[in-house]
Chain A
Amino acid sequence: MSQENSLEIKNLNIEYLTRSGTVHAVKDASFSVAKKETLGIVGESGCGKSTTGHAILKLLPSNARAKGEIVYKGRNVLTMPEKEVRHLRGKDISIVFQDPMTSLDPIMRVKDHFLELMRAHKPNVKEEEVIQTASEALEAAGVSKKRLDNYPFEFSGGMRQRVMIALGIALKPNVIVADEPTTSLDVVVQEQIMEVFRHLKKTKDMSIVLITHDLGIVAELADKVVVMYAGEVMEYADVYNLYKNPLHPYTQLLLKSVPNIKIDDMELHHIPGSLPDLKNLPPGCRFYDRCPFAKDKCKKEEPPIFKVDKREVRCWLYE
């Protein structure tokens, strides 16, 4: 997996300080995204996907404490002064959020959103340049440039999501972080958005970090996958091997529980139990309670990452 990397995450640890205790949201996460590559981050709700994604742009809330390294162009984003990070955002690394209705300003026209984005990097940018850039980006995201003067409420949910993607790609960033870009959209619109991403992958030199809980979408778009559970990277592998031969018990059960459309497969599977409390974690493997292969050692000692071929898996079975 060592081609030229756009982004390297090394031993990322993130905690949230709350009144009722410390939430250990991300522990010792390491992975990288190569140039032109799409990396999927999957896992159940609350396992730390968004926290990881937001850390990449240093967009964590004030009660968060992040340690470790997020290396972009040889520098650690986490220790950069805010002023410099602001220069990266949108231009080098951009993010597309889960909910386009709350992340677009309802009283600003689409054009003004682009203007604001571009001004942040070039205070005296000319109107023609904004329109030129915005038109190109909108077109790439499947929105007609005729809609530059529209307000967000004049768009359907799917179209708003495309506008968000257009804003994300407008300044031709090297890395785009997409947090659940299709959740809450129906399958037809979702497929249209996926097509936008496929097109971006083919035509632009962009690395994509795709955060989703939908294993179908990851299978369609990602090259590499990080499987997170309770804040830890449990498995890290290329998409083909991961789906063909999942190593970690959690990955195996997760894949099995996805409803499929094969009409002769009518069996439903689920993973009994639930995520451990991130404020009060057990000493051993975080998946211990729910793992069908758990052994004594798993309860007492937390497994480290083991390398299997070119893959990584955090489980004592691969010791």
Chain B
Amino acid sequence: MSKTESVVVVNNLKKYFPLKIPWLEALRKKEKPTVKAVDNISFDIKSNEALGLVGESGSGKTTVGRSTIRLIEPTNGSIKIHNQDIMSLKGESLRRARKNFQIIFQDPMASLNPYMSIGKSVMHPLEIHNIGSNFKERKEMVLELFDKVNLKPSKEFFNRFPRQLSGGQRQRVVIARAIITNPKFIVSDEATAMLDVSVRSQVLKLMLRLKDEYKLAFLFITHDLASAKYICERIAVMYLGKIVEVASTRELFEHPLHPYTKILMGAIPIPDPTIKRNKIMPKGEIPSPTNMPKGCRFRTRCPYAKKECEDMDMELTDMGSNHLSACPFIK
């Protein structure tokens, strides 16, 4: 895979959060304790490609998404978006670059200003980035986009307020606001998690269409593998700050390799009462990220763990045809 065609290239991304401890204790310790929320991960995404990022709660998905677009400061790593070195940008230049990358959150109500009409909310990024020459032109752009995301009649929707919309409609407003600046890259963080099944399908369809039409690179963060299947060309699985497996969606669904991925796949409830599976489940709970197991981080819960797992580095290795796994023992 040549990196030049990638819209997003992230290498060795780290985000350590400082841990709050009593100051006296802090004075005594040489090394400040940290939460290694994201620990040295790399990935790239091409245009018109969606990379899924899945994994259980607390594995670091949101932190990856936010660090990648510098909504939070990464501890370390290099990030290129649309051939621009994002880590070297500061102040005004970072602000200007933001029109190329946007994020969609889980709760549309929390990300919209309740006192601003949705038309104005979506127009706002155009004003910030100086796109369009006057109000009339910008309004035209918003109305056109409202048609595209199916907020019709667009003229009527323009003046509505968030509380006058259903959950699915609100999320479509948020999506419209994210793509109005014609970005190259979208991070979607559990954007469909709060929606009812039927509405979820509808929003997924919309994302799929926009991805095609705008040739977007998508980082699709979700804990719902079934939703990821419809959107993503490839899927990366995270566990405790590390990517443990990456493969094409089909590969991952047909031949999951990493023991954690297998467990994750097996845990998805299937809407068919005739199917009774024998599920392998991990032992215990996800360890605290402040007290990570040495070696393979999945060791404490892995049904296949053995002595060697205590000293290995969780390096992703190609197991054939771009299927990467961090477990060398399961092939």
Chain A residues in contact with chain B, CB under 8 A?
44-45, 156-159, 185-192, 194-195, 213-220, 222, 239-240, 243-244, 253-255, 257-261, 263, 266, 268-271, 274
Contact = CB atoms under 8 A, between A and B. Distances in A.
A3 to B, nearest CB: 19
Lowest 9 A-B CB distances belong to which pairs? Answer: A216-B269, A259-B226, A191-B267, A270-B201, A270-B202, A187-B267, A271-B198, A257-B198, A263-B253
B273 A243 contact: yes
25 contacts: A45-B167, A188-B56, A188-B263, A190-B267, A191-B266, A194-B269, A219-B273, A219-B275, A239-B273, A253-B198, A254-B198, A259-B224, A259-B226, A261-B226, A261-B253, A263-B249, A263-B254, A266-B229, A268-B201, A268-B202, A268-B205, A268-B230, A270-B201, A274-B166, A274-B168
Contact of A270 (B199, B264, B286): B199
B197 A263 contact: no
A189 B267 CA distance: 9
B272 A187 contact: no
B56 A187 contact: yes
Interface stretch (B89-97, B179-187, B277-285, B312-320): B277-285
Interface string B183-211: 00000000000001111111011001000
- Among A195, A219, A259, max chain B CB count under 10 A is at A259
A213 B197 contact: yes
A227 to B, nearest CB: 13
Contact of B270 (A159, A219, A270): A219
B269 A192 contact: no
Contacts of B265: 261
B196 A220 contact: no
Contacts of A44: 196-198
B153 interface: no
Contact of B250 (A190, A243, A263, A270): A263
Contacts of B300: none
A101 to B, nearest CB: 14
- Among B196, B227, B254, B263, max chain A CB count under 10 A is at B196
Given A254-B198, A257-B198, A259-B230, A216 B273 contact: no
Contact of B285 (A159, A194, A269): A159
Contacts of B226: 259-261
Interface of B: 56-57, 166-168, 196-202, 204-205, 208, 223-227, 229-230, 249-250, 253-254, 263-275, 279, 281-282, 285-286
B287 to A, nearest CB: 11
- Among B198, B199, B266, max chain A CB count under 10 A is at B198
Grouping DSSP codes into helix (H, G, I), strand (E, B) and loop, the A interface class, with mixed when no group exceeds half, is helix
Contacts of A254: 197-198
Contacts of A259: 197, 200-201, 204, 224, 226-227, 229-230
B271 A243 contact: yes
Given A213-B196, A261-B225, A270-B199, A191 B279 contact: yes
Contacts of A195: 281
Contact of A220 (B197, B199, B223, B273): B273
Contact of B223 (A157, A186, A258, A261): A186
Contacts of B250: 263
- Among B197, B208, B226, B281, max chain A CB count under 10 A is at B197
Nearest to B275: A219
Contacts of B272: 219, 243
A191 B56 CA distance: 12
Contacts of A266: 229-230
Contacts of B224: 187, 259
Contacts of A157: 57
Nearest to B279: A191
B201 A269 contact: yes
A255 B167 CA distance: 20
Contacts of A213: 196-197
A261 B229 contact: yes
Contacts of B273: 219-220, 222, 239-240, 243
A257 B166 CA distance: 18
B251 to A, nearest CB: 10
Contacts of A218: 271
Contact of B196 (A45, A187, A194, A261): A45
- Among A194, A213, A218, A220, max chain B CB count under 10 A is at A220
A217 B209 CA distance: 30
B170 to A, nearest CB: 12
Contacts of B274: 240, 243-244
A217 B282 contact: no
